[in-house]
């Protein structure tokens, strides 16, 4: 038998680690022009639809026949949009001091409530407020701290619009006290004016030496939401007013002598009720002060949220799902998957590398398009007369990066489906039906609120929550529904649900690719 010298290759051995696999999958992706085109289209359509939506959306206000610039709502100390409307009976306080008063009763009216909407009835809405307040000045949006009795939520200590602490439940008469000591303002309550219980403290760093201190009353609009029989909802807000009766009012500290100042903070125009029945204001009778007011001191969600500019991301997401599915099903269709598995016999790693590449590509598409769309489109909206809700730069960053993460998680989910079903049409259909369809059903179809919210908790569509910039406040009664841009899950929790689905789909795909003959 002849001796044969086996072949020795002069080629240096390569490396076949995960990094090489990633590079191979990236090369695969970038060398198919159609895929690069679809991924680019995902970004472009997100930007262009956002620009189009912003450009055609105008808002105008008029005074009589004359068009005027729309009034911009006030901003709170942290830059957020706020409502700041109440009747303020006040005087100046310099340095430390306190105010004490007994609140003997609250009453009010609600105009034209359901069911018949035909009369003005006596009553208080749950967040009708009356109490004591220390505020930097009488301008809307300036820092404040207040202790108050509410009609439905007991005694509260609130400050600077977003902060709210509950006290004991209220029974009339109720004594309230608000004390300033340096930067700290503390609210107390008492049943008898002797035994005091602390309700809460507010760190008011930055409050000037001289502030306004006094009594206040207000009442937010009466909100009802009707579910339409054909879907959709009808939201109504009705004028309300609160009158609170105080006595035993005393102010300690450096206060000037003289009468109380009276300010209807944030007032603009009068309703017929105020004009002909009872205007907001103060009625003094002996030691009794009756304060009537309307409005609310709270964060505001009136205006365009920044995520509205990302309307095009829905169309962009379709492109993302398509390209992610094609990235794997094309290999099954052509039999190329076998070549991939020859190059990397460790099959799970092939899918992991594919998921990483498509995730990074679509993350970039989402990130870049949102980073362009959000700042430009909010500027266009403002230029078109819209009031856009200001958000912190951290929130804006989260919405922009979150759009990238939403794209990436959806792409990995779709890739997993593609590897499971191995058929393009089936995988794309399932991906769209599980991500986009529940989102649309929950936000525009007018399903009952509970159904909409469960859809956005349980389905992959929960991931859209990462784009929500508006915030829910327990101390503000509003229609926190998906149609209004409020998701039942917190932003990162919603994204985690989608991420969980993506991990599940990819995990099942890895199991399948490992088990079966390729």
Partner 1 sequence: MEATIEVAGLRKRFGQTMALDGMSFTVEPGQVTGFVGPNGAGKSTTMRVILGLDAADAGRALVSGRPYASLRNPLHHVGALLDASALQPSRTARNHLLWLAHSQGWGARRVDEVIEQVGLGSAARRRAGGFSLGMRQRLGIAAALLGDPPVLMLDEPSNGLDPEGIIWMRGFLRSLAAEGRAVLVSSHLMSELEDTAGHLVVVGRGRVIADTSVAELIAAASTGRVSLRTTARSEAMSALAHAGATVAATDRDTLTVTGLAAEHIVALLTRDAVPFSEVTAHRATLEDAYLDLTRDTVEFRAGEQEATR
**Where does this chain bind partner 1 (CB under 8 A)?**
2, 4-11, 13-17, 20-21, 23-25, 27-28, 31-34, 330-331, 334-336, 338-339, 341-346, 517-518
Cβ closer to partner 1: 27 or 60? 27
Cβ closer to partner 1: 58 or 334? 334
Cβ closer to partner 1: 23 or 117? 23
d(C-alpha 431, C-alpha 434), whole Å:
5
Cβ closer to partner 1: 2 or 229? 2
Q: What does the block give as tokens for 458?
A: 């349980």
Cβ closer to partner 1: 259 or 342? 342
Cβ count near 444 (within 10 Å)? 13
Q: What share of the chain is helix, strand, coil (3-state, %, to 5)?
A: 40, 25, 30
What is the Cα Rg of the chain in Å?
A: 30
Cβ closer to partner 1: 25 or 396? 25
d(C-alpha 189, C-alpha 200), whole Å:
10
How far apart are CB 369 and partner 1 at their closest, in Å? Answer: 25
> Alpha-carbon dihedral of residues 415, 462, 407, 328, nearest 10 degrees?
10
Q: How many Å is the maximal CA-CA distance in the chain?
A: 127
How far apart are CB 513 and partner 1 at their closest, in Å? Answer: 11
Residue of 318, 324, 490 lying closest to 421 (CA atoms): 324
Residue of 39, 114, 8, 128 lying closest to 327 (CA atoms): 39
**DSSP structure class, residue 466:** G
For residue 164, the SS3 value is strand
Cβ closer to partner 1: 39 or 374? 39
For residue 15, the SS3 value is coil
How far apart are CB 508 and partner 1 at their closest, in Å? Answer: 19
Cβ closer to partner 1: 122 or 335? 335
Across the strands, what pairs with 282? 291
Look-up of token digits 């962009």: 316
Cβ closer to partner 1: 34 or 79? 34
d(C-alpha 112, C-alpha 126), whole Å:
17
Report the b/e string of 136-158 with b at 16+ CB within 10 A. Answer: bbbebbbbbbbbbbbbebbbbbb
How far apart are CB 12 and partner 1 at their closest, in Å? Answer: 9
How far apart are CB 401 and partner 1 at their closest, in Å? Answer: 29
How far apart are CB 27 and partner 1 at their closest, in Å? Answer: 4
Q: What does the block give as tokens for 249?
A: 């009012």
How far apart are CB 348 and partner 1 at their closest, in Å? Answer: 12
Helix axes 336-343, 347-383, angle to 10 degrees: 110
Cβ closer to partner 1: 304 or 340? 340
How far apart are CB 335 and partner 1 at their closest, in Å? Answer: 4
d(C-alpha 326, C-alpha 303), whole Å:
40
Name, in order, each residue with C-beta under 8 angstroms of 240's C-beta and a sequence gap of 6 or more: 108, 109, 110, 111, 124, 125, 128, 219, 220, 221, 222, 294
How far apart are CB 319 and partner 1 at their closest, in Å? Answer: 17
How far apart are CB 23 and partner 1 at their closest, in Å? Answer: 4
Cβ closer to partner 1: 17 or 206? 17
């Amino acid at each position: 038998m002849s001796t044969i010298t086996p072949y020795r290759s002069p080629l240096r051995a390569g490396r076949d680690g995960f990094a090489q696999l990633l590079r191979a999958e990236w090369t695969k992706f970038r060398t198919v022009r159609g895929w690069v085109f679809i991924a680019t289209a995902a970004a472009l359509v997100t930007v262009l639809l956002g620009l189009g939506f912003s450009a055609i959306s105008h808002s105008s206000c008029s005074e009589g026949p004359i068009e005027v610039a729309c009034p911009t709502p006030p901003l709170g100390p942290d830059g957020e949009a706020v409502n700041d409307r109440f009747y303020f009976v006040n005087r100046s306080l310099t340095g430390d001091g306190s105010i004490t008063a007994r609140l003997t009763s609250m009453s009010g009216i609600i105009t034209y409530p359901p069911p018949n909407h035909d009369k003005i009835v006596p009553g208080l809405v749950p967040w009708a407020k009356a109490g004591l307040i220390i505020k930097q000045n009488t301008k809307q949006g300036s820092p404040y701290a207040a202790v108050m009795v509410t009609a439905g939520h007991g005694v509260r200590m609130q400050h600077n619009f977003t902060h709210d602490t509950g006290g004991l439940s209220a029974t009339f008469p109720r004594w309230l006290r608000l004390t300033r000591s340096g930067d700290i303002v503390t609210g107390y309550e008492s049943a008898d004016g002797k035994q005091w219980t602390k309700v809460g403290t507010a760190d008011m760093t930055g409050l000037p030496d001289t502030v306004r201190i006094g009594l206040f009353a207000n009442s937010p609009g009466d909100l009802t939401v009707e579910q339409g029989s054909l879907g959709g909802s009808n939201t109504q807000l009705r004028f309300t007013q609160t009158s609170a009766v105080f006595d035993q009012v005393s102010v300690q500290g450096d206060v000037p002598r003289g009468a109380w100042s009276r300010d209807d903070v944030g007032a603009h125009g009068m309703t017929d009720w105020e004009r002909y029945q009872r205007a907001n204001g103060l009625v003094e009778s002996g030691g009794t002060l009756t304060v009537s007011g309307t409005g609310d001191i709270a964060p505001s969600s009136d205006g365009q949220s920044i995520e509205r500019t990302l309307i095009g991301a829905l169309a962009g997401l379709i492109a993302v799902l398509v390209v992610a599915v094609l990235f794997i099903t094309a290999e099954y269709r052509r039999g190329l998957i076998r070549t991939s598995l020859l190059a990397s016999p460790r099959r799970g790693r092939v899918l992991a590398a594919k998921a990483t590449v498509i995730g990074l590509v679509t993350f970039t598409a989402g990130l870049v398009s949102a980073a362009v769309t959000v700042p430009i489109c909010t500027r266009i909206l403002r230029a078109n007369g819209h009031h856009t809700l200001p958000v912190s730069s951290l929130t804006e960053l989260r919405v922009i990066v979150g759009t990238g993460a939403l794209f990436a998680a959806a792409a990995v989910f779709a890739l997993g489906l593609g590897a499971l079903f191995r058929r393009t049409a089936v995988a794309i259909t399932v991906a769209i039906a599980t991500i986009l369809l529940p989102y649309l059903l929950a936000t525009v179809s007018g399903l009952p609120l509970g159904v909409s919210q469960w859809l956005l908790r349980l389905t992959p569509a929960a991931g859209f929550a990462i784009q929500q910039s508006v915030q829910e406040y327990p101390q503000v009664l509003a229609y926190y529904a998906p149609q209004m841009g409020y998701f039942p899950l917190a932003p990162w929790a919603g994204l985690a649900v989608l991420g969980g689905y993506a991990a599940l789909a990819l995990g099942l795909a890895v199991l399948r690719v490992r088990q079966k003959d390729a």
